[in-house]
Every structure is written in structure tokens, then in C-alpha cells.
Amino acid sequence: MSTLQTLPYQTDPLPLLAALRPYGGAVLLHSADRTHPDGRFDVVAAAPTAWLTTRGPGTCIHGPDGSRTTTASPFDTLEQWLESPAAELIGEEALPFAGGVIGLAGYDLVRVLEPLPPRRSPASGFPDLIAGRYAWAVVTDHHTGTTRLLQMEDARPPPIVEMLAAGLPAAPCLGRKAPHLRGETDPDAYARSFQRIQDYIRAGDCYQVNLAMRFTGRFDGDPLALYAHLAQRHPAPFAGFLDTAYGTVLSFSPERFLRTADGVIETCPIKGTQPRSSDPVEDRQLAAALLASAKDRAENLMIVDLLRNDLGRSCVAGSIEVSSLFGLESFGSVHHLVSRIRGRLAPDISPLAAFARAFPGGSITGAPKIRAMQIIDELEPHARGPYCGSLFMVDGRGRMDSSITIRTLLARHGHLHCWGGGGLVADSTLTDEWAEIHHKVGALIGKAEAES
């Protein structure tokens, strides 16, 4: 029988996450910004009973009976993992996860899902998809001040009760400044890509393209210490941390990709950004300017239309609605325009199937989506890796939640990688777009320099 056990309330999930890292596959889905309407739950898990990695057309599946490789869709395996009964959450039905699949889909997973050519840029070294079957998790509800250990029938969790009773040491401290990152695209190269996109827009090939660049620096510290440092400075409602054999992902995302519950699917794209000011009067003026910006509203509306189409591939006809358009959401360093679109899933479409049909999020590609991604492939010199992908969890009840992995770092082989990007439209200016990218990365990790 599945169980749900009450634990002492964990106001901070990081000490428990640190204690669970030796068990492998440690993951945190973190509501670091509890002032946000969606900043309610933390989910901590580790030691998956099975896991898979996808690179291009091949998927390697690891389980209790060994490993095997297949060219079948990795989503077939994930669906099979969800056939096991979820934990029974009697009286706690609001909990967002009942045991199931947690994973990270990198941007290049799209090549498994859409007719795109092989990548032109070198691979990032990080899998296109890495996901595990997690039979237990510790879920904290910050609205009710409760923490629960949930277990599926075959769960074999570490001695979490005993670990908490003995007292957990504090999460590691950074003990040094955040690493210095340097842009890997020089201004002239970015200017050429910017102009190429403007040419495509004028020719009618596309309306918007999200162009990104990578920043890199040396880093040999503890990724969790860096995560703790940055999560305190930049709390985000859809933050996350994932330990893997291929690198550690640190995400401080403000953006939900897809959420499903009770047959309803919702997406919340961000498009439109304005830096914040420490002066309250100026900050209000900046927020008002963003709300009134015809350019930002037009960009947001393009992506809303794109995502209505993406959801339409999975929803009952006539059920899609825009529940909020151009809403202002303010975070530590930026204001954003956020819209909300929802619909009712068709009876024969699972949450994972809807995820695959809509991936990657339209707010980080452009429109039309396929053509925008082709242009991204042509112009971006570095693979995006986990950036602009999605950190997701889904269980057998049909509950799913997922972020878009913007504001995301990859610690790998002594280096730290970060990406920044922005949506280019007909009236974008080179100076403003270059400055916005550097502001986004600099606000997250500290001063970010261009390549000289």
C-alpha cells in the first residue's frame, strides 16, 4: 500500500537536498519565490528506480534489470513508468506530485519531435532528455506549513525520518564570489546574426526569432552552494536543481511551461522584459512603460497565438481560452509581461503527449515556430543544452507541472555555462537587444562581459 507520512515542516529544502545527493539523481523543484501566486510547493527526490537518457535518435534506459538502448520514442518509456499506481494522497489531493517521472528535456529534444535537420553547432555534452522514475518524494506545502513523505508501493527511500530527527547540517555556503562569465559571441558576430534575422523578417520568413548566446567561466566549486547563493538573491517560482552524471543544472526560472490538473492544461508564456530600479518611483515608471509598450505587447500576442495553436493540437475543440493577457509580474531584477492560456485536454491525450506536442515553449523559439527554430540552428554557434528546455514532473494521476529553463546554468567539467536571449522582431534595435541579453545574464550571475 502506498503511504503518506508527515514530517517536520521544512521551511528550507536545501539541507535535505544536500543530505540526499549521495544517493544519486537528486532533484529539487523549488518554489523559491513564495510571494508569487504559484510559489507554494517544494518537491525533493533522489535515487530513482530507473532512468533514461536520450541523445539524438537513441535512448539508453537503465533499470534494476540492467541497461538497454532503443530508437523508440523516450516518451513511450515514460508513459510505461506512469502505469504504476501513484501514491494515495487521501486528504492531500492538492499535492502536485504523487510519485512518477521527474526529468529535464533539453532544447535539442525537439529534433526527436519535429522535422528539423541535425544540429549544426557542436553538442553541449548534456543529454537531450534525462528523466527518472521517482517512487518517493518529500513534498512541502508552504501555504499549509506541512511536509509529507510520499511513497509508491515499490519505494525504498533513504532513512529520511531518522536523518531529520538527527538534525541536518546547513546547506553548503559558496564561500567566494560567483564565477565571472564571459560571452562566447563577439559583438560583430551577434550583429551579423541580428541583421540576418531582420532580413528574414522583411522577406516574410518569420515574425519573431529568439536569438541566444552562451556565457562561460571557470567553476570548480559546489553547484549546490552556488544554487543556494543565487536562489536567495533571485528567488523564482519555478526554480530547480538537478544532479546528473553529465553535469548539474541550476535553474531560476520565472516561467511555467505547461501544467495539467483535472483534465485542464495551462501555459503561461513570458514575453516582454524591463529592468527594475532600486528607486520606487522610477521602478513604477518602468513597470508602466512595459505595460504600455506596443512592441512588447505585440511580441507577447504573437507568442499567445502560437501557443493557442500548440495547445490546440492536444485540446478539445473550442475549449482554449486566454484567461489573462499582458499581465505584469515583477521579480527581483526585472518586470515581465505574462499571459495565461488554458484548454481542456482531449480524452485520448495524456499530459506527456501534450508536452511532446508543444515542446519547446514558443516563448523561446519565435514564430512561425518551425521556421524560427531553423533560423536558430543556422545562427547560434553553441547548442543550447538544458537552456530553453523544460524541468518537469508528472504522475499517474494526470498531474504535471513544468518550467521553461531560462535563467539556467549548467555546471560541467570545471566550467559554468549560462545563456541569455531575447525575441527579435521587425522594430528591434541591435543596441537594445545586446544590452538586454547582458542585463539578464549579469543580473543573474554578476557582471557578464562580451567577447572582445
What are the angstrom distances between the C-alpha of 38 and each of 28, 96, 152, 302? 16, 11, 26, 24
Which residues have C-beta within 8 Å of that of residue 29, sequence separation ≥ 6? 41, 42, 43, 97, 102, 238, 239, 240, 391, 393, 401
Residue in 412, 407, 437 with CA at minimum distance from that of residue 423:
437
Question: Is-contact 52 61, C-beta < 8 A?
Answer: yes
DSSP secondary-structure letter at 87? P
Say how far apart CA 198 and CA 362 lie, in whole Å. Answer: 19
Q: Which of 93, 153, 255, 447 is catalytic?
A: 255
Say how far apart CA 349 and CA 175 lie, in whole Å. Answer: 48
Q: Are strands 181-183 and 146-151 parallel, antiparallel or unpaired?
A: unpaired
Q: Which of 83, 114, 266, 271 is catalytic?
A: 271
User: Which amino acid does the sequence have at 178?
Assistant: A
Which residues have C-beta within 8 Å of that of residue 165, sequence separation ≥ 6? none
Note the maximum CA span of the chain: 66
Which residues have C-beta within 8 Å of that of residue 93, sequence separation ≥ 6? none
Catalytic, 255? Answer: yes
Q: In the beta sheet, which residues pair with residue 59?
A: 54, 70
Active-site residue set:
255, 271
